[in-house]
């Protein structure tokens, strides 16, 4: 999808994140435009998932700044002083961002439809009938219209992840984050989730995706970000990253995961 604006929807500026003495993000800067699909690749421990979690305020940063739609995330300037946002304000900011995790995190006592409509009813105060109608449309969109009344235990892993995607879309996020959404799936179930993600990208949804599915990254990404050693090492188009980039660290990683130039 071609970006629709030159104004970045997301701006990460010099972000550093530490866990004790371990630096997980080291002066990371990145911009994502509305309508853009950005895929993050790299070895385990590179900081990819942590970067997504800082965007959704699941992890606090140690330095730098993050902006979503031009608004500073997690903090606000009051009379020249930078203050933590209130819990209510953080909740408001999070509504702009949907996130799909490695694990499905569905409510086991709720049906697929109930999982999808729970947040719109509780958080956005949407009427139950309206939420149900929208929820059924979303389940149909991810190919699960016939599973609306099924509980997670009655669904395959791929089906559960598709419910999780529908649940994230139900909040109408400005950007959708995927943190290795197929890593917990059996190999035969991966394609059904990637197919849904591919359809969502074609519909213009802004997305940031952490994945080890290199062929998928090559197909759907507008830009690919290679992270290693807690830093962004390279950013480019899929062709630039997978075919022509001379970076030795990147080439070694691609070789290790079986990607040939």
Tens digits of per-residue pLDDT, 202-259? 999 999 999 999 999 999 999 999 999 999 999 999 999 999 989 999 999 999 998 8
pLDDT at 6: 67
HEC per residue, 48-94 = HHHHHHHHCCCCCCCEEEEEECCEECCEEEECCEEEECCHHHHHHHH
For residues 59 and 50, give the distance between their C-alpha atoms in angstroms, rounded to a whole number.
Answer: 7
For the chain, percent of residues with pLDDT exceeding 70: 97
pLDDT at 1: 53
The average pLDDT across 35-46 equals: 97
Tens digits of per-residue pLDDT, 138-162? 999 999 999 999 999 999 999 999 9
For residues 53 and 64, give the distance between their C-alpha atoms in angstroms, rounded to a whole number.
Answer: 15
Rg (CA), the chain: 19
Half-sphere exposure of residue 140, counting CA atoms within 13 Å on the CB side? 6
pTM for the whole structure: 0.93
pLDDT at 78: 85
Tens digits of per-residue pLDDT, 128-141? 999 999 999 999 99
Higher pLDDT pick, 101 / 81: 101
Q: pLDDT grade, residue 2 (50/70/90)? A: low
Tens digits of per-residue pLDDT, 21-31? 999 999 999 99
Q: pLDDT grade, residue 180 (50/70/90)? A: very high
Count of beta carbons in the 10 Å neighbourhood of residue 221: 24
pLDDT at 179: 97
pLDDT at 258: 87
**Domain range summary for the chain, segments of one domain joined by +:** 105-160
Hey, which bits of the chain come out as E strands? 8-19, 22-33, 37-41, 63-68, 71-72, 75-78, 81-84, 97-100, 175-179, 206-210, 223-228, 231-236
Beginning with the edge strand found earlier in the chain, give each strand of the sheet holding 22-33 in spatial order.
22-33, 8-19, 63-68, 71-72
Structure tokens that stand for 205 in this block: 């949804």
Tens digits of per-residue pLDDT, 90-124? 999 999 999 999 999 999 999 999 999 999 999 99
């Amino acid at each position: 999808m071609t970006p629709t604006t030159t104004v970045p929807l997301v701006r990460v500026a010099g972000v550093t994140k530490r866990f004790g003495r371990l630096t997980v993000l080291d002066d990371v800067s990145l911009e994502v435009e509305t309508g853009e699909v950005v895929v993050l690749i790299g070895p385990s421990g590179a900081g990819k998932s942590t970067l997504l979690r800082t965007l959704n305020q699941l992890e606090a940063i140690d330095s730098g700044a993050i902006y979503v739609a031009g608004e500073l995330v997690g903090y606000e300037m009051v009379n020249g002083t930078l203050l933590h946002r209130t819990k209510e304000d953080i909740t408001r900011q999070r509504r702009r961002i949907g996130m799909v995790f490695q694990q499905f995190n569905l409510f086991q006592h709720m049906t697929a439809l109930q999982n999808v409509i729970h947040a719109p009813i509780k958080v956005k105060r949407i009427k139950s009938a309206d939420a149900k109608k929208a929820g059924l449309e979303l389940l149909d969109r991810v190919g699960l219209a016939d599973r609306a009344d099924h509980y997670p235990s009655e669904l395959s892993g791929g089906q559960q992840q598709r419910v999780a995607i529908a649940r994230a879309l139900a909040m109408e996020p400005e950007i959708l984050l995927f943190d290795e959404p197929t890593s917990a799936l059996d190999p035969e179930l991966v394609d059904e989730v990637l197919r849904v993600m591919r359809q969502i990208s074609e519909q213009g949804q802004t997305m940031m995706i952490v994945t080890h599915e290199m062929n998928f990254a090559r197909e759907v990404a507008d830009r690919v970000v290679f992270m290693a050693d807690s830093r962004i090492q390279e950013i480019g188009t899929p062709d630039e990253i997978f075919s022509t980039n001379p970076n030795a660290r990147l080439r070694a990683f691609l070789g290790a995961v079986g990607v040939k130039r």
